[in-house]
C-alpha cells in the first residue's frame, strides 16, 4: 500500500529554514545546518538518506522549492534528491502557473495547478506505477517546503511524518507548525546519528 510520507529537516525551535530565505539563499541564514546530516560521510546518515530515497516512488514539492532546486544554484549531479542513489522518482509540483522551461529536464516533472490534494493523487498514481514496474513497495514523499507539508498535514493527507531534528536553534525563519490543526502522532522510530535525530511518526 502506497503511503504518503512527509519528510523534512527541522531545527530544535521548529524552523525549516533560517531567517531571510530567498532565491539566492534558499535555506535562509544558518539554514544549511539543518541538512548537515544529508551531506555527511557518516555511514548511519548515509543509510538514513539511502533508505528514504529508495522508498520514493514519487515526490511532491511546492513551487517555491521547485524554483530553488531548478534554479542556477540548485540541484546538480552531486547535490539533489537521490543524486548519488540508484533510480529517480517522478516529481510532482504544486503550482498555480507551470514554468515555461525546466533546467533539470532529465527528471520527470509533473505540474499540478488544481491544488495539493490533486497533486498527491497524481503522485500516488505515479508511485503505484513505479511499484508495479519495479516490484518494490514505493511511497509518495512530500519533501516540502514547510508550507506544503503543513498544508498536507492540515488537510489530513499525510500517513507518516519523518522529522530530521538538527541540533541547532535558528531563532527565526520558516516555521513548520504555525496554527496547525491538532494531530495525534504515534512514534514509530527514533534514530540518533552524529548530526541529527531522525524521528518517524504515524499520523492518526
Three-state SS for 21? coil
CATH 3.40.430.10 fits 4-203, yes or no: yes
What pLDDT, on the 0 to 100 scale, is given for residue 42?
96
Sketch the domain layout of the chain as residue ranges.
4-203
For residue 70, what is its C-alpha cell?
A: 531548478
Residues 113-131 pLDDT 10s: 999 999 999 999 999 999 9
Q: Is the pTM above the cut of 0.85?
A: yes
44: helix, strand or coil: helix
Question: pLDDT at residue 181 above 90?
Answer: no
Question: Tell me, what's the pLDDT at 22?
Answer: 84
Amino acid at each position: 500500500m502506497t503511503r504518503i510520507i512527509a519528510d523534512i529537516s527541522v531545527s530544535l525551535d521548529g524552523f525549516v529554514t533560517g531567517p531571510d530565505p530567498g532565491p539566492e539563499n534558499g535555506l535562509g541564514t544558518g539554514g544549511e545546518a539543518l541538512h548537515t546530516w544529508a551531506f555527511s560521510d557518516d555511514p548511519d546518515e548515509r543509510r538514513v538518506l539511502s533508505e528514504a530515497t529508495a522508498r520514493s516512488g514519487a515526490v511532491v514539492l511546492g513551487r517555491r522549492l521547485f524554483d530553488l532546486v531548478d534554479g542556477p544554484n540548485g540541484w546538480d549531479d552531486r547535490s539533489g534528491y537521490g543524486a548519488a542513489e540508484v533510480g529517480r522518482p517522478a516529481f510532482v509540483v504544486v503550482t498555480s502557473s507551470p514554468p515555461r522551461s525546466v533546467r533539470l529536464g532529465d527528471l520527470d516533472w509533473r505540474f499540478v495547478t488544481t491544488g495539493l490534494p490533486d497533486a498527491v493523487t497524481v503522485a500516488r498514481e505515479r508511485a503505484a506505477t513505479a511499484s508495479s514496474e519495479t516490484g518494490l513497495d514505493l511511497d509518495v514523499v512530500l519533501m516540502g517546503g514547510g508550507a506544503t507539508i503543513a498544508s498536507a498535514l492540515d488537510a489530513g493527507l499525510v500517513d507518516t511524518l519523518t522529522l530530521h531534528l538538527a541540533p541547532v536553534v535558528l531563532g527565526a525563519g520558516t516555521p513548520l507548525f504555525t496554527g496547525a490543526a491538532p494531530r495525534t502522532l504515534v512514534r514509530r522510530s527514533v534514530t540518533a546519528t552524529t548530526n541529527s535525530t531522525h524521528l518517524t511518526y504515524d499520523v492518526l
